[in-house]
Amino acid sequence: MKFDAKIELENKIEEYSFKDVAKQANGSAWLRSGNTVILATVVIDDNEVEDDDFLPLTVQYIEKTYAAGKIPGGFFKRETKPSDFETLTSRIVDRSIRPLFPKGFSNPTQVTVMVLSADKDADLQVLALNAASAAIFTSDIDINRSVSAVRGAKIDGELVFNPTKEDLAKSTLDLYLSGTKDELLMIEMRTIGSDVADSETLVIDDMIDPMMEPVVGMGTFFKHSSNAMGEDELIDVLAKAQNILFEANSKYEEGFASSKKETVAIKSKKESLNQEMFSYVKDNHMQDIKDAMNQMAKSERSTALKALRKFILEIKTEWNEDELKNAIEKVKREQVRTQILNERVRADGRALNEVRPITIDTNILPNAHSSCLFTRGQTQALVVLTMGGPKDAQMFETLTEEGTQNENFMVHYNFPGFSVGEASPITGVKRRELGHGNLAKRALEPIVDLNGDTVRLVSEILESNGSSSMATVCGGYMALKAADIETSDTIAGIAMGMVSEGDNYAILSDIMGLEDHDGDMDFKVTGSKDGITALQMDIKLGGISLDVLKEALYQAKEGRSHIIDIMVEAEKEIEFNDGVLPSTDIFHIDPSFIGDVIGQAGKTIREIIEKFEVAIDIDKKDGKVKVTGKSKSGVSGAKDHIHGIVNKPKVEKINYAVGETYPGIVKKIVDFGAFIELPDGTDGLLHISKISDARVDKVSDVLSEGDNIEVEILEFKGNKISLGRAK
């Protein structure tokens, strides 16, 4: 295949062909980078949709398993529904290219991105956006800006752009940034938790069979860290990434210019605003509009505006209802923005940086492992946690990884229609639900170290008026604490917004649905008091300066800290579901005592497991002990028992001799005699016939467990010692 453009970028080369395939589409791009090949196409329907305020754009990112030499797993040997990764990538591409289309464009547009060959080192999300942008830029659509993506990583403290998969696996940062030459359009960022050196014992997840002999090993202890990133550092990273985007888009636009098809002018609908109606509503019903704005719930506000529309139509019977609806909406939007910009007061009366009232109730579901009902204003999330073992992890496959992967921390987000007063049935998971669940997962994952166990968080949105995803983050953290799961930091989330007219702008903390709809930015940031763990930003006005973004980040930090203070107080009120909640404890013992804990042929450890109803894993190299059970009391009892063994002074082994007498303790009584523990912990058998000169019919008539007794060594049978009662 002949390539029309060769673009040399940071750490990679991309080659494009625009004329060889999919020639009936409005635009197509065949992208090759290394051994990865992606086909992107764009097709525009000639029939416009009626809605004036809607861009009918659909993006589908599709992975073909043949691209990695694989046959689909499972019963059906054909690609079926999209994977979570495909859905999330479709959202990323959609959110990045949507700002390219002019306001008023209303032709249904389909962008399809297909992965035809996949290199294991390829960053498919970056390449998918670059290919989609190339298809649009070189199409006959009159769009003359390219948008591209860059991924940033932080490896050993150094910033790396367009890292390899191997590099990204070692990174403490995963930043996905998209934009044009001049504007940042979308940011997806998360930090990656890691273990940092803390003392002198090596932690290795190499669990042993209780029957194996212990191996002593010492090294370095690692403590889990969230690697939260400070606001100033993030701004510095974004500034460097923006420079890379400028250079990349400059190269794209120059390299693609000769392949651009003859363009057809884009038809954009003019704003169908009836000025007479707009003026009438503004002059006569402004108070009604303000009253409707103060109806915080979307359903109540919609009902109030509908009632106003009906009232006006009873007076102005000749007016068109759709035109009036549009006029009322425009008056409402203008009032929302004017009040914020000029009066610095929001529709519900809050200050620009004020967070709505918060209430937190934990473990309200008695038979769940843990739960939290997090309510902020009129947004409410019920987050429920379930704990499981390694076998409960979600298995999945990717094109760029060999074999099956396991996901042992899951966040599933559900948004039923009743949460916003809509009479709609609950159907399958939508893109938005997957995206919000993924954001909450990225926010919380860096602070938990599950040690191979599995945790599933399910967020049921019961009411929504602004940023239910951030309520999911806060409720998710509280559910973790209500399950007694150790975290490296306290994490909260807050949704930020912005309204701007020219140089005048206002940054809003904890935005509600009205401000999201009528504002210019949707900006979600999660993290601790010290830094950010995840960030998602969509800019509706076409770019944002880093100075304004920095101001928004610090205002978000202020709001986040306020929420964290409330959450920390709520932690003090947690009462665990002890009868239901599984418990895990991890501690370290001196590796030289592992043999004592395991016992001869695993006898001691089996006794502990049976007595306390727990599972025990011991790391043979460093003495890390993991005890898991159905109750905290059982786990605590097993831990204390193990510490009792470890803390018991070591006794030198005795070379016992036949005929000699020694003190002993009756350890266990059986039908045929008693097992006696000798001074160095060795067991011997005192047969029933050797207990007394007189006949003994029942051992328990003569001896009790714990009795002190003098015994004589009669003989050795292999590793067994035969005892008699000393005279």
What does DSSP assign to residue 401?
S
In a domain, 268, yes or no: no
Q: Are residues 164 and 311 in the same domain?
A: no
Q: Are residues 439 and 519 in the same domain?
A: yes
| pLDDT band with cut points at 50, 70 and 90 for residue 86 | very high
Is-contact 107 57, C-beta < 8 A? no
The mean pLDDT of 159-188, rounded to a whole number, is: 90
Dump pLDDT digits (tens) for 121-142.
Answer: 899 999 999 999 999 999 998 8
Q: Are residues 43 and 187 in the same domain?
A: yes
Is-contact 629 617, C-beta < 8 A? no
What was the pLDDT predicted at 201?
A: 33
Q: Are residues 536 and 684 in the same domain?
A: no
What was the pLDDT predicted at 217?
A: 34
User: Beta 27-33 vs 12-17: how paired, if at all?
Assistant: antiparallel
Q: Are residues 40 and 142 in the same domain?
A: yes
Tell me the percentage of the chain whose pLDDT exceeds 90: 44
| pLDDT band with cut points at 50, 70 and 90 for residue 41 | very high
Dump pLDDT digits (tens) for 513-572.
Answer: 888 877 788 889 999 999 999 999 887 655 567 888 899 999 999 999 999 999 999 999
In a domain, 322, yes or no: yes
SS3 of residue 609 by DSSP: helix
Average pLDDT, the chain: 86
Q: Are residues 635 and 530 in the same domain?
A: no
In a domain, 93, yes or no: yes
What was the pLDDT predicted at 207?
A: 34
How far is 492 from 560, CA to CA, in rounded Å?
6
| Choice between 165 and 533, residue whose per-residue pLDDT is larger | 533
Q: Are residues 89 and 186 in the same domain?
A: yes
The mean pLDDT of 475-487, rounded to a whole number, is: 94
| CATH number of the structural domain spanning residue 612 | 3.30.1370.10
Domains in the chain: how many in total?
5
What was the pLDDT predicted at 63?
A: 93
In a domain, 210, yes or no: no
| CATH number of the structural domain spanning residue 299 | 1.10.10
Please check the confidence at residue 7 and state whether its pLDDT lies above 70: yes
The residues, any chain, with a CB within 8 Å of residue 497's CB and separated by 6 or more, are 507, 508, 511, 515, 516, 519, 520, 521, 522, 523
Q: Which of 291, 365, 290 is nearest to 335 (CA)?
A: 290
Please check the confidence at residue 614 and state whether its pLDDT lies above 90: no
Q: Are residues 371 and 474 in the same domain?
A: yes
Range(s) of the domain holding residue 669: 661-725
Q: Are residues 338 and 368 in the same domain?
A: no
How far is 523 from 554, CA to CA, in rounded Å?
13
pTM: 0.79
The mean pLDDT of 55-77, rounded to a whole number, is: 87
Q: Which of 124-138, 211-225, 309-323 has the lowest mean pLDDT?
A: 211-225
| CATH number of the structural domain spanning residue 462 | 3.30.230.70
| CATH number of the structural domain spanning residue 699 | 2.40.50.140
How far is 482 from 362, CA to CA, in rounded Å?
7
The mean pLDDT of 160-176, rounded to a whole number, is: 90
SS3 of residue 528 by DSSP: coil
In a domain, 348, yes or no: no
Given 284, 310, 343, the domain boundary residue is: 343
Sheet holding 583-588, edge to edge: 583-588, 624-629, 614-618
What was the pLDDT predicted at 53?
A: 66
Dump pLDDT digits (tens) for 557-607.
Answer: 999 999 999 999 999 999 998 778 887 888 888 888 888 888 877 888 998
Q: Are residues 67 and 177 in the same domain?
A: yes
Q: Are residues 523 and 378 in the same domain?
A: yes
Q: Which of 503, 507, 505, 558 is nearest to 537 (CA)?
A: 507
The amino acid sitting at 455 is: V
In a domain, 183, yes or no: yes
Alpha helical stretches, state H, 50-103: 84-97
In a domain, 613, yes or no: yes
In a domain, 682, yes or no: yes
| Choice between 450 and 270, residue whose per-residue pLDDT is larger | 450
Q: Which of 94-108, 190-204, 465-479, 655-669 has the lowest mean pLDDT?
A: 190-204
Q: Are residues 700 and 552 in the same domain?
A: no
Q: Which of 711, 705, 707 is nearest to 724 (CA)?
A: 711
